[in-house]
């Protein structure tokens, strides 16, 4: 379990969150300081774990096919990291998605809602003042006069209707001696910070998903092209075999085998085409468009460039960089504040109120000294017996705090696992691409040899066909290996936080509320 009493981490300035609405926050903090301490535990951000990212140290570089990826420990991450792929169509697509994606728009409005709720909550720190003006027309019966002690003679007295004007100002203020209101406000602020982190996470997820989808599209196009080449080659081979079978040069079994091989290759093409259509439709959804409205440029592997320098953040930096970890920390903060609220609900609450007003029969005499009315009152409320409800609420809040602590620790562990997975994936991707390159080169050389020997009459045609199939399969594996490196590189940038601290898109999106 993450301990809740660790010293708070002092993040560097580049990782500090936007504070939001500084004037109101400054007023709130000043009033909180004047009001004294609040009951319940004070929140302290858990310390970053002092652990390594991977079981073994990473090598300086991952090499494959002549492309190096150098891992730089502690390097900063650009806010627009996707530009490292050097693809103008990809940059344009992400710009369109950031402007039109409905999920981002919903997250922006959710943050705005939380900010306004916090502003509304600030009202508990200051007295509430209200004014009223109430004119009323009244007629008193003689019977009512008699019952009020005016004597039996009043029963025969007739009082004409009259108008009474009442103007007053009321003031009420809760002393909040034990900090229940302040803890509620602290929870609202934590909720606001949580929604801001969720918005950052939505930006990060969207940009990484677009890069991954673009890479998938490029990979599928390359696989479709390679498959079509295979089908074309096998179709040509089948034509040759049919001619040889007609001439009696081969057995029918060889012809049937080639027909089966061609049919198998043809069967692999429609699923790839279906996946490509789905990838295009997914890209349309990311930019907030319908599939029929999406006419962006096609992505190919030749249009994408593998980023060469890969940052590797320090473990303590990952805590500050990952929006999901920061969001989980704010839920922990909110749960901590809720414990204080439940404790304060069990203690006395003192409210001071004052009413000042004037009451007169005419508007002209309404504000004369003799018509002044005022009341000062104090109200002390102490719960005595509520059937154990308040104590149960306190215990429930403590349990919720422990739940939030466990969930925070799980979020941290998952985040570090995510980073380790992607770092190691890039290593294995490099090895896979090396092997795929070697396999493709060997298969191509084997095909050249088989073709030469066949032309000289030293090899049967079936050996040439097998060599062609092997070569085309090696090309497909090579395409998948290249695409995996592109995708896993994007996954690493996402795992490391995506450089959101260098962007200002959240500020712009939220109507200028956060300076």
- Is residue 460 in a domain? yes
- Is residue 318 in a domain? yes
- Is residue 12 in a domain? no
At 224, which CATH number?
Answer: 1.20.1600.10
pLDDT at position 67: 60
The torsion defined by the Cα of 76, 78, 79 and 80, in degrees rounded to 10, comes to: -160
pLDDT at position 389: 93
- Is residue 515 in a domain? no
Q: Which residues contact 327 (CB under 8 A, 6 or more apart)?
A: 194, 197, 198, 201
Characterise 490 by phi-psi region: left (phi > 0), alpha (psi -120 to 50), beta (else). alpha
Query: Residue 139 class from Cβ within 10 Å (0-12 exposed, 13-18 middle, 19+ buried)?
Result: exposed
132 forms beta bridges with 168
With H, G, I as helix, E, B as strand and everything else as coil, classify residue 174: strand
pLDDT block averages, 10 residues each, the chain of length 515: 34 39 45 63 90 71 59 90 95 94 94 94 91 86 64 62 87 91 95 95 96 96 91 86 84 86 91 96 95 90 91 89 96 96 93 88 80 88 91 96 96 94 90 91 91 79 82 90 94 94 65 38
pLDDT at position 59: 61
- Is residue 224 in a domain? yes
Cα torsion angle, 363, 368, 371, 376, sign: positive
| Total-model pTM | 0.82
Residue numbers of the domain that contains 376:
17-509
pLDDT at position 101: 95
What are the C-alpha distances in Å from 149 to residues 146, 158, 160, 350?
A: 5, 16, 19, 38
CA 213 to CA 152: how far, in whole Å? 95
pLDDT at position 283: 96
- Is residue 241 in a domain? yes
Tell me how many domains the chain contains.
1
152: Cα within 13 Å, side-chain hemisphere: 0
What are the C-alpha distances in Å from 176 to residues 337, 390, 405?
A: 15, 18, 28
Q: Which residues contact 159 (CB under 8 A, 6 or more apart)?
A: 139, 140, 142, 145
- Is residue 89 in a domain? yes
CA 324 to CA 81: how far, in whole Å? 19
- Is residue 492 in a domain? yes
How many other C-beta atoms are found inside a 10 Å radius of the C-beta of residue 210? 23
């Amino acid at each position: 379990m993450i301990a809740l009493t660790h010293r708070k981490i002092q993040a560097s300035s580049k990782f500090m969150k936007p504070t939001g609405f500084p004037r109101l926050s400054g007023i709130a903090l000043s009033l909180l300081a004047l009001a004294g301490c609040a009951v319940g535990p004070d929140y302290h951000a858990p310390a970053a774990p002092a652990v390594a990212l991977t079981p073994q140290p990473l090598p300086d570089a991952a090499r494959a096919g002549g492309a190096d990826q150098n891992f730089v420990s502690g390097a900063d991450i650009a806010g627009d990291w996707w530009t490292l792929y050097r693809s103008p169509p990809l940059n344009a697509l992400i710009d369109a998605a950031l402007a039109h994606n409905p999920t981002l728009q919903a997250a922006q409005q959710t943050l705005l809602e939380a900010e306004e709720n916090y502003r509304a909550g600030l009202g508990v720190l200051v007295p509430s003042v209200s004014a009223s003006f109430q004119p009323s027309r009244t007629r008193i019966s003689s019977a009512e006069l008699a019952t009020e002690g005016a004597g039996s003679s009043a029963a025969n007295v007739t009082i004409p209707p009259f108008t009474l004007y009442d103007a007053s100002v009321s003031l009420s203020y809760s002393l909040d001696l034990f900090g229940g209101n302040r803890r509620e406000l602290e929870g609202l602020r934590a909720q606001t910070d949580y929604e801001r982190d969720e918005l950052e996470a939505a930006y990060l997820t969207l940009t990484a998903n677009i890069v991954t989808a673009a890479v998938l599209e490029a990979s599928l196009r390359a696989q479709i092209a390679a498959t079509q080449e295979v089908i074309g080659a096998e179709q040509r081979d089948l034509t040759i075999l049919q001619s040889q079978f007609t001439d009696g040069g081969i057995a029918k079994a060889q012809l049937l085998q080639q027909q089966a091989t061609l049919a198998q290759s043809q069967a692999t093409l429609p699923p790839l085409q279906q996946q490509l259509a789905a990838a295009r439709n997914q890209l349309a959804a990311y930019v907030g468009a319908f599939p029929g409205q999406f006419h962006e440029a096609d992505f190919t592997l030749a249009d994408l460039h593998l980023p060469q320098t890969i940052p590797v953040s320090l473990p303590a930096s990952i805590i500050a960089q990952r929006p999901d970890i920061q969001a989980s920390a704010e839920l922990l903060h909110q749960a901590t504040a809720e414990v204080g609220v439940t404790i304060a609900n069990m203690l006395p609450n003192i409210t001071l109120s004052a009413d000042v007003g004037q009451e007169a029969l005419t508007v002209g005499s309404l504000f004369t000294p003799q018509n002044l009315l005022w009341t000062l009152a104090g109200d002390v409320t102490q719960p005595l017996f509520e059937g154990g409800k308040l104590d149960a609420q306190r215990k429930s809040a403590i349990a919720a705090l422990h739940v939030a602590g466990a969930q925070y620790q799980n979020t941290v562990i998952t985040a570090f696992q995510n980073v380790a997975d992607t770092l190691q994936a890039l290593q294995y991707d490099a090895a896979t691409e090396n092997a795929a390159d070697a396999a493709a080169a060997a298969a191509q050389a084997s095909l050249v040899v088989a073709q030469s020997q066949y032309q000289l009459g030293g090899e049967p045609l079936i050996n040439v066909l097998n060599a062609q199939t092997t070569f085309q399969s090696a090309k497909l594996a090579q395409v998948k290996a290249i695409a995996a490196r592109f995708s896993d590189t994007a996954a690493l940038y996402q795992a490391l936080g995506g450089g959101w601290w260098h962007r200002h898109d959240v500020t712009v999106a939220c109507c200028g509320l956060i300076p």
